[in-house]
Structure 1
Amino acid sequence: MKALRSMRLWLVWACLACAALHAFAPAPTLAQGILGPATSADELAPPDYKQWEKTATRAEREIADRETDSVAYEAMRGYLVEWRDTFLRAQGINASRIASVRGQVDALGPAPAEGATEPDDIAQRRKELTEQLAELRAPVVSAEEAYQRADGLIREIDRVVRERQTQELLRLWPMPLNPANWPAAASETSTLAVDLWNEGATRFGSERARATARDNLPAILGLLVVGLLLIARGRALMERLTQTLQDQASARGRKVGSLLVSLGQIVAPVAGVVAVSHAITLSAMAGPRTTLVVEVLPAISFILYAAGWLAGRVFPKNGLQTSPLNLSEDRRREGRFHTAMFGVVMALDALRTVALPPARVGEAATSVMAFPFIVVAGLLLFRIGQLMLASVRNDLGDDEPSSFRNSVIDLLGRGAIAIGVIAPLLALPGYIAAATALVYPAGLTLGLIGVLFVLQTLVVDLYGLATRNEDGGRDALLPVLIGFLLALALVPLLALVWGARVADLTEIWARFREGYQVGSTRISPTSFLLLAIVFSIGYGITRLLQGALKSQILPKTRLDQGGRNAVVSGVGYLGIILAALVAVNSAGLDLSNLAIVAGALSVGIGFGLQNIVGNFVSGIILLIERPVSEGDWIEVGGVQGTVKSISVRSTRIQTFDRTDVIVPNQDLVAGQVTNWTRYNMTGRLIVPVGVAYGSDTRHVERVLREIAEAQPLAILNPPPSIVFMGFTQEFLSFEIRVILRDVNFSLSVRSDINHMIAKRFAEEGIGLTHIPREIWPASEPEVENGLTEAEIAALLVVEPPHRPQKDNVPKGTHVVDLHRQTEEEEDADGDGEADAEGASEGTGSTR
């Protein structure tokens, strides 16, 4: 049986680091010996195919022999991987020369069809180039064939190893509850104790061992004192220091400091165990089995203390500390106990696996000794899963939908409960390997997810500390992205925990690094990286050019602001297109293979994206022709306002009440648009004036002309005009018509003119019109029911020239509007001016 998976947790990062170094390292030693050093692909020497044939033949023979152990398979797989990398690089031999010859062949034009002929000199040249191309491609073809063979052998080895792993998991061990198997377990345990005692006694009786111990006595005593002190008091001291930092709620960065200090709860006792182990080794009192146990003690202690530390972070004692679970203080205490006990079970079972390996003690003893640990671990998983479900219930209201976080916690909790039940049931009849492969990886998975939570919390706290906003870090985008990357980095660790080999991960990375063949082009991460770098450089140059045009060059030209914006936008679009084309060409991607996709996309555009494409084309037309520019006051589709920005798809218009309206560009190009201020800002203002009958019309005209000419924004050429519009039943109608230099100030000019009219008419004795309204009492019976004669007399007044509010008139009184017909006509005539005044409130404009 393999070593327990719990022993692999502390080795996971080291394995990944080795895999990464292997993936990113240059040509391996074996490959360098096979291929030889070179500065470029064209200078590579062909591989030694004779040596490769021997290696491949031996690999095929070992694969066919099913008695070969897994260690030999892994060693052979390593050699095959090196050969495969060698053949992959060899496929680039003569790459530039092959590309050049192919270009020459393409320059000759397509080969003649069957039965057709071409000039003799061209045919001869085509034949020479074809032979030359075949000769250049000969080593490439050999490398491709050898690559496929090596890759096939690697796949076959992986298949055999996976089959063995599956058979091992499904193998039935002796039943642990069978009393016949118990004596074997008891005998092996007692034998271990006796062996350890005998080794110690034998070493103590050896003069040479005692001499070594005496020589190293000062170092041994020092290490023992320091080690025992760190084991006994180090964790408690670090825990008190962490609690002190957490209680200082006002201290900036207390969360980060407390987390970093809390790591001492692992470092201090583990360092103490390392010191004690080293002291035992220096004493020369440990025999072979004792040395094996002593050497593994640091790893065992790491599992033990790491579980205790993680329990304190996931189920904190202090309510101020962030926790992923919504639990009460009692339930958190229970969670800390179960998590720490799971670490104890893992540590003890790992120690049992090292001290009493299955290959030495036998399957029966291993099954009996492993069964109690599996049952206890399953029970602890079951209780932890129940706590996770309780947290989800505490978070959810009556009708509140479950969040993604609660859904994940609920799934993990149910999975922990299921595994906590299934694993002991599998171990009961003797499926020890399957039960072990379930219960301990499940616990490690929950532990790694807890570590992920701690790291994400640390990122949030560091971001809040850097931005001096500790409360706003959780809502920021950057910590979320970093947390997502941490979650992705957790995936390889989980794969290793659940039984994946390091070779499996390196194989996935090798496939990813090699890329995929699409037509005649191989797409790899290197190609995408080169594409991204070249495109980023092109985009940066484009942005710099846009900035130079906008701030330095275009302001010195005669272009208006709209033209400048159009030039800057056009340069931006052109630069992005050129950067994309150069990037694709630099990456060596052949876009001709995408012709079918482009054809299908064009059909989709024709049906589903026609509006978007239409708006895009219309935006380009607007930027080129510029019938509408930024800052223009336009009217389109019943919307009036100032153009604030023109993008490729739409135009943003700000109305007079300061609201933004997004208008599709197609409406501006295909529809009717009124541009009030396209070429100039001048506009005409009309101010109507009603004068009472009996006034001198010439005198009124002269006064109004003086008022109009006195306005500073009025244009004197053509001069303002005063028009006597005619006679109404109430007043003499005049109009002041004046052209303003800036129509945006028409509202303020109108107000000034009205003030001047009121002032000058009062000085000149000119009367403004008023409309009398007559109110008389109702019939005699109604008077008796409601109003006295005094109240009726008070109502006989002359109202201003506006419609009376009938709701304010006492009941029983008839209101007669003597000029109702006239007012309705005035309303009809004045609708246009009212609309113009309302529209000009935002900019002071009236047409």
Structure 2
Amino acid sequence: MLELNDGYEMLLAAARSWGAEVTSPWFYLQFGVMLTGAGVAFAIGAAIRARTDLTALAMGWPGPLRMLTRILISSASTAAFAVLMTIARIVMSHSTWPSRSYLLAVAAKLALAWLVIRLVTSVIRNEFMVRLVAISAWLVAALSILGQLGATIALLDSVGIELGDLRLTPLLLIKLGVLLAVALWLSNLASNFLEGRINQAHDLTPSIQVLLVKLVRLLLMVFAIALVMGAVGINLSALAVFSGAVGVGIGFGLQKIVANFISGVILLADKSVKPGDLVTIGDSSGRISAMNTRYISVAAGDGREFLIPNEDLITQKVVNWTYTDKDTLVKVSFGANYDADPRLVCKLAIEVAAASPRASLAKPPNCLLAEFTEAGMKFALTFWIDSPDGMDAVKSDVMLGLWYAFKREGIRVPYPVRELRIRGGALPVENAVIEMPG
């Protein structure tokens, strides 16, 4: 309670100090100078941006120097405002008491701090992280410039709640949030770098590469969280009270998520499927484009992508067309009438299949007489292609070739023939009625 009263007294003292500053006529003079300087700085920045061709100016420069130049041009208004406020501060310091230009000094320092922060955060690619780091750093700089950083820290640390050996305060939560965001960003950079290295290792299979990338990301994330908690003074054993609740939550609410995660690890470890495989799962067919922690993405080839949970690949039947061998057997069923020579039909079918550009030369086509039916003979043509991609198109081309070959040789494709017998009725024939025997 004493700490809370101390923080309250500090706030009152700061309010009285600012109240005295606001009541001074010099405050309004400085405020007017600041508004004028802001307008002039905005005009200067707009003129610089309009007259500067960054592409032509920085052509051939190194990447970091081009980025620095781009940040300086985009922040020209801030830089001009800092310079104008510094000049106004120097002029007023020599004209009157230095305390009467205090607000101008604060404005110049804040503008300069923001400019430096923008330059430092230009190396960050994540827009959210840029804003988070820039705003957090500028608030700290502003409090330090105003001389209120120590008082603010003490105030944020004066209130809190006790959870066993852990004392949660607003200051602790702010530190934890900022450091955690920075640590996770750094771990993401490190994992991206390691992912590039792993993907360049051609002696590793695609499934092992994906598994290693997932493990590296998970380990770096856990390490970053543990490091941040230790840095802010949180003992991980103090969180043991929540482990039971988390376990119950995982057991009930997150059961499917955990099952999909474990199934994903199993799939990556046993290499039953891997990125690039052509698979059929239930009614979904396509090529695996990505394997994630919770699901795999199967591109159907027509713009659709099926997101299939990893658990389904463990519990359901999966057809992997490229598991051990990409060669695919194509089956074509067709028929011919009984007037045709079956050996000639098989010969024509084999020649048409062998003429296909996708047909495998190592495994010659084969044609078998499969069945005698009412309409005609049924044949089964089989041939191998190098991969299952475009199998339907290859099958269509071979069937078109069969059609033209049959037309050339006079072989007819059978079609159903129906014979109608009518008993006890009459049929009109050339306007006459013929009585049928009953």
TM-score, length-normalised on structure 1? 0.35
Q: Distance in 1 between matches of 2:228 and 2:39?
A: 55
Per-residue displacement from partner, 1:386-442 (whole Å, max 9, x unpaired)? xxxxxxxxxxxxxxxxxxxxxxxxxxxxxxxxxxxxxxxxxxxxxxxxxxxxxxxxx
Query: Do the aligned residues in 1 keep the contact of 2:296 with 2:308 (CA within 8 Å)?
Result: yes
The alignment partner of 1:630 has SS state of coil
Name the CA shift for 1:687/1:707 in 2 (closer, same or farther; >3 Å): same
The alignment partner of 2:264 has SS state of helix
Amino acid at match of 2:154: E
**Aligned equivalent of 2:152, options 486, 498, 505:** 505
Name the CA shift for 1:575/1:758 in 2 (closer, same or farther; >3 Å): same
Give the aligned partner of residue 372 of structure 2. Answer: 726
Query: Do the aligned residues in 2 keep the contact of 1:532 with 1:583 (CA within 8 Å)?
Result: no
Per-residue displacement from partner, 1:272-308 (whole Å, max 9, x unpaired)? 443344xxxxxxxxxxxxxxxxx3xx443666xx69x
Name the CA shift for 1:459/1:237 in 2 (closer, same or farther; >3 Å): closer
Amino acid at match of 2:246: L
Query: Do the aligned residues in 2 keep the contact of 1:459 with 1:483 (CA within 8 Å)?
Result: no
Q: Distance in 2 between matches of 1:241 and 1:544?
A: 41
The alignment partner of 1:250 has SS state of helix
The alignment partner of 2:51 has SS state of coil
**Aligned equivalent of 1:662, options 307, 312, 316:** 307
Give the aligned partner of residue 100 of structure 2. Answer: 300
Shift of residue 646, structure 1, vs aligned partner:
1.9
Query: Do the aligned residues in 1 keep the contact of 2:299 with 2:306 (CA within 8 Å)?
Result: yes
The alignment partner of 1:743 has SS state of coil
Give the aligned partner of residue 251 of structure 1. Answer: 51
Amino acid at match of 1:274: S
Shift of residue 599, structure 1, vs aligned partner:
0.3
Shift of residue 476, structure 1, vs aligned partner:
5.1
Q: Distance in 1 between matches of 2:73 and 2:365?
A: 77
Shift of residue 522, structure 1, vs aligned partner:
8.0
Give the aligned partner of residue 551 of structure 1. Answer: 200
Q: Distance in 2 between matches of 1:516 and 1:699?
A: 92
Give the aligned partner of residue 694 of structure 1. Answer: 339
Query: Do the aligned residues in 2 keep the contact of 1:246 with 1:255 (CA within 8 Å)?
Result: no
Q: Distance in 2 between matches of 1:716 and 1:477?
A: 57
Amino acid at match of 1:669: I
The alignment partner of 1:641 has SS state of strand
Name the CA shift for 1:709/1:585 in 2 (closer, same or farther; >3 Å): same
Q: Distance in 1 between matches of 2:219 and 2:119?
A: 41
Shift of residue 685, structure 1, vs aligned partner:
1.5
Per-residue displacement from partner, 1:45-75 (whole Å, max 9, x unpaired)? xxxxxxxxxxxxxxxxxxxxxxxxxxxxxxx
Q: Distance in 2 between matches of 1:501 and 1:571?
A: 42
Name the CA shift for 1:675/1:251 in 2 (closer, same or farther; >3 Å): same
Query: Do the aligned residues in 1 keep the contact of 2:195 with 2:213 (CA within 8 Å)?
Result: yes
Bigger fraction of residues in strand: 2
Query: Is residue 269 of structure 2 the alignment partner of residue 606 of structure 1?
Result: no
Name the CA shift for 1:267/1:551 in 2 (closer, same or farther; >3 Å): closer
Q: Distance in 2 between matches of 1:542 and 1:258?
A: 37
The alignment partner of 1:643 has SS state of strand
Q: Distance in 1 between matches of 2:129 and 2:179?
A: 25
Give the aligned partner of residue 359 of structure 2. Answer: 713
Query: Do the aligned residues in 2 keep the contact of 1:644 with 1:653 (CA within 8 Å)?
Result: yes
**Aligned equivalent of 1:275, options 87, 94, 104:** 94
Larger Rg: 1
Name the CA shift for 1:581/1:715 in 2 (closer, same or farther; >3 Å): farther
Q: Distance in 2 between matches of 1:479 and 1:687?
A: 60
Alignment of 1:447-596 (within 5 A): 477=128, 480-481=131-132, 484-485=135-136, 488-489=139-140, 492=143, 504-505=151-152, 507-508=154-155, 519=164, 549-552=198-201, 555-556=202-203, 560-570=205-215, 572-573=217-218, 577=222, 590-596=235-241
Query: Do the aligned residues in 1 keep the contact of 2:278 with 2:388 (CA within 8 Å)?
Result: no
Amino acid at match of 2:260: N
Name the CA shift for 1:250/1:548 in 2 (closer, same or farther; >3 Å): closer
Query: Across the two proteins, how many residue pairs are aligned to each other?
Result: 373
Q: Distance in 2 between matches of 1:580 and 1:257?
A: 38
Query: Do the aligned residues in 2 keep the contact of 1:255 with 1:461 (CA within 8 Å)?
Result: no
The alignment partner of 2:332 has SS state of strand
Amino acid at match of 1:622: L
Bigger fraction of residues in helix: 1
Query: Do the aligned residues in 1 keep the contact of 2:330 with 2:382 (CA within 8 Å)?
Result: yes
Query: Do the aligned residues in 2 keep the contact of 1:636 with 1:674 (CA within 8 Å)?
Result: yes
Q: Distance in 2 between matches of 1:575 and 1:724?
A: 61
Name the CA shift for 1:721/1:458 in 2 (closer, same or farther; >3 Å): same
CA root-mean-square deviation: 5.5
Per-residue displacement from partner, 1:662-709 (whole Å, max 9, x unpaired)? 111122222333333322223321223344563333322222233334
Q: Distance in 1 between matches of 2:41 and 2:13?
A: 50
Name the CA shift for 1:478/1:604 in 2 (closer, same or farther; >3 Å): closer
**Aligned equivalent of 2:280, options 610, 613, 635:** 635
Shift of residue 607, structure 1, vs aligned partner:
2.4
Amino acid at match of 2:367: S
Q: Distance in 2 between matches of 1:563 and 1:237?
A: 60
The alignment partner of 2:256 has SS state of helix
Name the CA shift for 1:456/1:611 in 2 (closer, same or farther; >3 Å): farther
Name the CA shift for 1:734/1:575 in 2 (closer, same or farther; >3 Å): same
Query: Do the aligned residues in 2 keep the contact of 1:684 with 1:740 (CA within 8 Å)?
Result: yes
Query: Do the aligned residues in 2 keep the contact of 1:725 with 1:733 (CA within 8 Å)?
Result: yes
Query: Do the aligned residues in 1 keep the contact of 2:260 with 2:294 (CA within 8 Å)?
Result: yes
Q: Distance in 2 between matches of 1:483 and 1:582?
A: 23
Query: Do the aligned residues in 2 keep the contact of 1:653 with 1:661 (CA within 8 Å)?
Result: yes
Name the CA shift for 1:263/1:644 in 2 (closer, same or farther; >3 Å): closer
TM-score, length-normalised on structure 2? 0.62
Give unpaired runs (5+ residues) of structure 2.
17-34, 53-71, 418-438
Per-residue displacement from partner, 1:596-638 (whole Å, max 9, x unpaired)? 2100111222222222122222222222333322222222242
Q: Distance in 2 between matches of 1:700 and 1:762?
A: 12
Name the CA shift for 1:761/1:482 in 2 (closer, same or farther; >3 Å): same
Query: Is residue 265 of structure 2 the alignment partner of residue 620 of structure 1?
Result: yes
